[in-house]
């Protein structure tokens, strides 16, 4: 069994995947736009992503731009969890993810290791853990 995250965005999916790709050293694959699809979306939305995947070492998730008539509640239905071996690397990652977003739990030492929780600038919730 494979459980995978599928993230929905309001027209900025490509921007978000570029950000995450740079951050996690991953690539956008299987990129499909709404162009030439028999779906009722405005012509201005045809270049938006109907489907894409971000793949790299240790990271793989799918994402899309929800059609304009689909309401999105910014990230409150999903948390992405990241486990990192080194607490310095985890803290750096947490700081980058939280830039322009909101910190819910500062990255600090906890009973099980180091942990922080934030919502990034795209409305996605993140939990960053390090067990060193």
**Looking at the structure, do residues 10 and 61 belong to the same domain, yes or no?**
yes
Question: Which tens digits make up the pLDDT trace of 65-98?
Answer: 888 887 777 656 677 989 989 999 999 999 999 9
CATH number of the domain residue 124 falls in: 3.30.720.110
Question: Which tens digits make up the pLDDT trace of 6-36?
Answer: 898 989 999 999 999 999 999 999 999 988 8
pTM over 0.85: no
Q: Find the domain containing 115 and state its range.
A: 79-130
Under 8 Å between Cβ of 82 and 26: no
Tell me whether residue 50 is in a domain. yes
Under 8 Å between Cβ of 27 and 54: yes
- Calculate the alpha carbon distances from 95 to 9, 34, 91, 117 in Å: 22, 34, 6, 10
Q: What share of residues in the chain are helix, strand, coil (percent, to 5)?
A: 20, 40, 40
* Sheet strands (E) in 73-124: 79-84, 102-110, 113-119
Tell me whether residue 71 is in a domain. no
**Looking at the structure, do residues 23 and 53 belong to the same domain, yes or no?**
yes
CATH number of the domain residue 18 falls in: 3.10.180.10
**Looking at the structure, do residues 11 and 56 belong to the same domain, yes or no?**
yes
């Amino acid at each position: 069994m494979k459980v995978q995250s599928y993230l929905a965005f309001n027209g900025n999916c490509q921007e978000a995947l570029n950000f995450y790709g740079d951050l996690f050293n991953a690539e956008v694959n299987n990129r499909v736009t709404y162009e030439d699809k028999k779906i009722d979306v405005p012509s201005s939305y045809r270049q938006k992503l109907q489907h894409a995947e971000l793949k790299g070492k240790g990271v793989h998730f799918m994402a899309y731009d929800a059609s304009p008539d689909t309401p999105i509640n910014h990230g409150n239905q999903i948390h992405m969890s990241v486990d990192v071996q080194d607490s310095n690397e985890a803290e750096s990652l947490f700081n980058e993810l939280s830039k322009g977003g909101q910190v819910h739990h500062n990255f600090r030492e906890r009973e099980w290791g180091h942990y922080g929780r934030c919502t990034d600038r795209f409305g996605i919730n993140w939990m960053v853990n390090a067990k060193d």
